[in-house]
Amino acid sequence: MRINSIQEMEKIVESNPNMSWDSWSVLILTDDDGYYTKNGIFKDGKWKTQYVYNMSEYGVWNIPDRFLTHVQV
């Protein structure tokens, strides 16, 4: 899903506990085993996978729909 509004992206991140901000990038943390992946992180005593979605030069975040299925805006 292409999101081009900072207000809409803030609502999405606020409504999902697995999402957070890192500057203008959106971080998505999943319970997928991240031990052998390049984007794996160790958090809360478990290996997890963290996806980073940067804002494009056109001011758009392109977040896969699978991460937005349970998000209400």
| pLDDT value, residue 27 | 97
Number of Cβ within 10 Å of residue 19's Cβ equals 20
pLDDT value for 62: 96
Helix, strand, coil percentages for the chain (3-state, nearest 5): 20, 35, 45
CA distance linking residue 19 with residue 67, whole number of Å:
9
What count of other Cβ atoms lies within 10 Å of the Cβ of residue 22? 10
Cβ contact 3:60 at 8 Å:
yes
pLDDT tens-digit series, residues 22-32: 999 999 999 99
Residue extents of the structural domains in the chain: 2-67
Record the tokens describing residue 33, joined without a space: 């085993």
pTM: 0.87
